[in-house]
Amino acid sequence: MLEEITIEEKGCAKINLALHVTGVKEDGYHILDSIVIFTDIFDILTFKKGKKNLLTFTGEFSKALNVKNNSVIEALKLFENLLADHFAINVEKNLPLGAGLGGGSADAAAVIRFITNYCNQPMPSFEAISKIGADVPVCVLSLASRVGGIGEITRPIDISGIDLWIVLVNPRIFVATGSVFEDVSKKNNEPLEPFTNFRKTDQFIDYLRRQRNDLQSVAVNKWPEIKEVLDTIDKTQDVLLTRMSGSGSTCFGLYRTQDIAKRAVSYLNQKSSKWWVKYSKVS
């Protein structure tokens, strides 16, 4: 079945709409409580059977990647000695690096989905998967979720009744996740407020406004460019919520309609031609 065909998997950008740091484990990993959604902005991975494993990168953000040391290689290692076949894998890298979008995690997740779906291999435990990166388990699902622990606890949430658009802005600076976490002074913060389900957009926005990203103040203090992005999104017309995703450097604004989101994109592109600006339906 796989002899001649090329299989495609998407690595969709994830967004932390809220991210609370609720503790730290003995091994140094931080315990999180987060609401994660996905966008239709993505890397594209293609898989084709070959004589040996071969990894190549293309796309706007491919130049900074290391072919020998990256999340795709780590994902393949989960299936070491289990696969009889070899694959040529190309990653079209459309998502910026060090951006709080889980791009590397989404790519690793795409590899895991491909191998479990097409190579008859069992899904590794989310605990094993989370060792590649905290975002990899939820990226395997690629569904709106509440994420806990160090990323290994994922519970899908129903946001089918929510009608929102999101605008992403990245100032094209690389933020190392570890450097942000190590500067978080208060490690034992309150978890997310309890919720059952979100039936209406207004209810969802009101809930999110009462939550936080506990990494945002750290990143803003380290990188003034992130504060500039947040302040500029805040000035867009009819923005419902402005926040940073993950450990940065991408920030987002939430909007009611596609037209309002498009207007925000135009405004943001006028303010800086250097920023990476995209929009998507929230899903």
| Angstrom distance (rounded) from CA 55 to CA 154 | 29
How many CB atoms neighbour CB 157 within 10 A?
17
**Phi, psi of 66, deg, nearest 5:** -105, 120
Pinpoint the alpha helices (H) of 156-257. Answer: 177-181, 201-209, 216-222, 224-234
Contacts of 120 (CB under 8 A, 6+ apart): none
Given 14, 93, 271, 278, which residue is catalytic? 14
Enclosing H/E stretch for 231: helix 224-234
User: Any catalytic annotation for residue 259?
Assistant: no
Angle at 280 between CA 283 and CA 74, to 5 degrees: 70
Given 33, 107, 135, 214, which residue is catalytic? 135
Whether the CB-CB separation of 121 and 138 falls below 8 Å is answered with no
Enclosing H/E stretch for 7: strand 7-24
Beta bridge partners of 147: 34, 154
Helix (H, G, I), strand (E, B) or coil at 25: coil
Helix (H, G, I), strand (E, B) or coil at 39: strand
User: Any catalytic annotation for residue 135?
Assistant: yes
Helix (H, G, I), strand (E, B) or coil at 41: strand
Contacts of 113 (CB under 8 A, 6+ apart): 9, 140
Nearest to 133 by CA among 176, 181, 184, 71: 71
| Angstrom distance (rounded) from CA 139 to CA 112 | 10
Helix (H, G, I), strand (E, B) or coil at 136: helix
Active site residues: 14, 135
